Chains A and B, each alone.
Chain A
Amino acid sequence: MRWSLHLILPFLTFNFLQLNGQENWEVPEERQGRLSPFEFSDSIQQQGSIHYSVNCASCHGTPGQGNFERLDPLPVDPATAEFQENTDGEIFYKVSEGRGLMPSFKNVLSAQEIWEVVGYLRTYNADYVQEVRPTAELSAYGGTVELLMAHLTDQNKIQVVAKGTRHGETQPIEAAEVALRVKRYFGDLQLDETKFTNPQGIVEFDAPQELPGDESGHLELTAHLVNQEMFGITQVDTTLAVGQAFVPVSLTRDRAMWNVVQKAPIWLLLAYTLSVLIAWGIIFYILFQIKKIFDIGAELESKS
């Protein structure tokens, strides 16, 4: 048991820090006051409860039942007053970003779905009165927004240009946050950090040279503007030859002991076949000899 003390000491310290941290889970100020764009109706809350049971209940348990996992730090029961003190924006932020044991759900649930979860959790707060985000805030950019993407071959950079058309006039959009993603089998991989456009509406990303693409290095790229509340869903999909040319090789291509018979090692095929042929060749030769014994006897019999 000597090791256990060594083990426990750092853990105690670690836990202490964690607990401390939990009390001070600071949500950035601009996110605290964020509000749901829609009203938490019964059907919305119903949806939220489904998301909760799939994604949250395994640790947090059923709200109000106290049947959460005994983890360290303890997961918070969302029905408690302590939890309900969070603003809508704070809950949204914490679910979305995660911290420590709490996974981030921003890639799992859409913004709409996270709001549905918030709505569901508010059913455990009798005093809650929802404040809905004013509709005026929804479309801050009055006009159509367009993104263009190109490969600057000389600098080997991917250039994304954001343009807005307002009142028949097209002009670059400055200081818009752009994320660049590349399509992978189970989800999109974000390349680099998000970047902000310059006054010409341009943002440049390094080409992911070492990221495998198809046979000629083509990657399916998606650039989109992060601030959906400002610009709506704006994205551009392009296939550019910016990655590494990659020719996939079948794992079953070569001869191996574990492969199918047709791809068995040559030496084994030869050794096995030859051994069997030789042994059974001799056996049939012997059977032939036995027949000869019989033939001799038969001949002698017919003579006598």
Chain B
Amino acid sequence: MSEESNNKVPDNRNQNEGRKSRRDFLKNVGLFGAATAAGAGAIYSGYKYEQNKGSSEMVRVLTEDNRLVMIPRDQIQTVTLDQDALQKRGREGLEGHRWVMVIDLAKCRNARKCVDACQSAHHLRPHEYHITTLVMKDAPNTAPYFMPKPCQHCDNPPCVSVCPVNATFKRQDGIVLIDNERCIGCRFCISACPYSARMFHWQEPVMADTYEEEQPDYDVELNVPQRKGTISKCLFSADLVRVGQLPYCVTACPNGVFYFGDENQDAVTNGTTKETVRLSQLLKQNAGYRLMPELGTKPRVYYLPPKNRLFDAPDEDMTGTQIQETV
């Protein structure tokens, strides 16, 4: 039940179990190395340092938990992160941050570059959405508008509550992720999500053949390789955020619709202009709101109303869409 028991998760790529068992064994050995590198390794290197004092130059390194420590250069061992280490850091998230997204509806013209960038980064087909844009119309006599809709990364996520196996989970930095090595495909989370933000791999993912050849390690922060019979969803590009970059959709937008940042730092950065602004002021000055607040889901995605729009309102007869009154 515990998180530590992750280590015992059998690698579940069922097609190749025989072929991969030795590889998995080596992986688990590798995990031991990675897991102890930060803890026991630090003590050991401290001991070694006392012995070899002065024999080696000291260098500063950043540990997994974001501490800056000094170790002798000759003590450095290169560790490649294997799947279990990726899992561990992916489930913990980044300490001290609370990621938040602001979407300015006044700027969205349905270019759908966010959708394209997301789908190519996460290996999805054109109708498999982590983020999509919707044509919204709030009342019969109000103008329609375009609304990009990623996962809302709720602080009270109904989808996570109902997961029977802890496959989808919320991290300390607010991101709701899905672990497709754990997911049993019951789709309870799809039923629970009022924002229709989740998708399911009804068939083999589009890049299945490539996975077959290359056997890439599964990164829970990218949810690649995708797996048939499991859920996939928007990840706030946790892999990019970890290295200080803005999410794929945010950077891809040509119109400055997306802001992304850290609520703890009260700052969000626009993905198009890279301008950083105060989150609190942006929301205050533009009357920011969240989707369906009455459900108590507490989303981490804010919307700025489509006021003083820079684009025409969408036509009602947009191809491929059914404009429905929103609720």
Contacts and interface: CB of A to CB of B under 8 A. Distances in A.
B311 interface: yes
A251 B276 contact: no
Interface string B120-143: 000000000000000000001111
Interface centre among B1, B95, B96 (most CB of A within 10 A): B96
Interface stretch (B11-19, B25-33, B214-222, B254-262): B254-262
A2 B113 contact: no
A103 B157 contact: no
A72 B309 CA distance: 11
A185 interface: yes
Contact of B274 (A3, A108, A246): A108
Contacts of A7: 143, 313
B169 A59 contact: no
Given A58-B111, A104-B273, A250-B95, A212 B264 contact: yes
Interface centre among A7, A185, A257 (most CB of B within 10 A): A185
A262 interface: yes
A108 B273 contact: yes
Nearest to A191: B278
Interface stretch (B45-53, B68-76, B171-179, B202-210): B171-179
A261 B166 contact: yes
Q: Bin chain A's interface residue count.
A: 35 or more
A258 B143 contact: no
Contacts of A255: none
Contacts of A186: 244-246, 260-262, 267-269, 276
Interface string B83-108: 00000000000011110000000000
B98 A248 contact: yes
Given A11-B312, A186-B244, A261 B1 contact: yes
Interface string B1-39: 111000000000000000000000000000000000000
B275 interface: yes
A105 B271 CA distance: 11
A251 B299 CA distance: 13
Contact of B143 (A3, A55, A108, A211): A3
Contacts of A187: 269, 274-276
B261 A2 contact: no
A59 B266 contact: no
Nearest to B154: A258
A116 B195 CA distance: 44
A259 interface: yes
A71 interface: yes
B311 A256 contact: no
A251 B170 contact: yes
B93 to A, nearest CB: 8
Interface in A231-257: 246, 248, 250-253, 256-257
A259 B3 CA distance: 12
B109 interface: yes
Given A3-B140, A257-B161, A101 B255 contact: yes
Contacts of B244: 185-186
Nearest to A109: B274
Contacts of B310: 100-101
A145 B172 CA distance: 44
Contacts of A253: 172
B265 A256 contact: no
- Main SS at interface, chain B: loop
B65 to A, nearest CB: 13
Interface in B142-163: 142-143, 155-158, 160-161
B256 A103 contact: yes
B184 interface: no
Interface in B184-224: none
B262 A258 contact: no
Interface string A163-195: 000000000000000000000111111100000
A103 B170 contact: no
B276 A212 contact: no
A300 B123 CA distance: 73
A185 B166 contact: no
A72 B111 contact: no
B261 A184 contact: yes
Contact of B174 (A246, A251, A261): A251
Interface string A41-73: 000000000000001001100000000010110
20 contacts: A3-B143, A7-B313, A55-B254, A59-B254, A98-B273, A103-B255, A103-B256, A103-B272, A106-B273, A184-B267, A185-B265, A186-B246, A187-B269, A189-B267, A189-B278, A211-B278, A212-B265, A256-B156, A258-B156, A258-B158
Interface of B: 1-3, 95-98, 109, 111, 113, 140-143, 155-158, 160-161, 166, 169-174, 244-246, 254-256, 260-262, 264-269, 272-278, 310-313
Interface of A: 2-3, 6-7, 11, 55, 58-59, 69, 71-72, 98, 100-101, 103-108, 184-190, 211-212, 246, 248, 250-253, 256-262
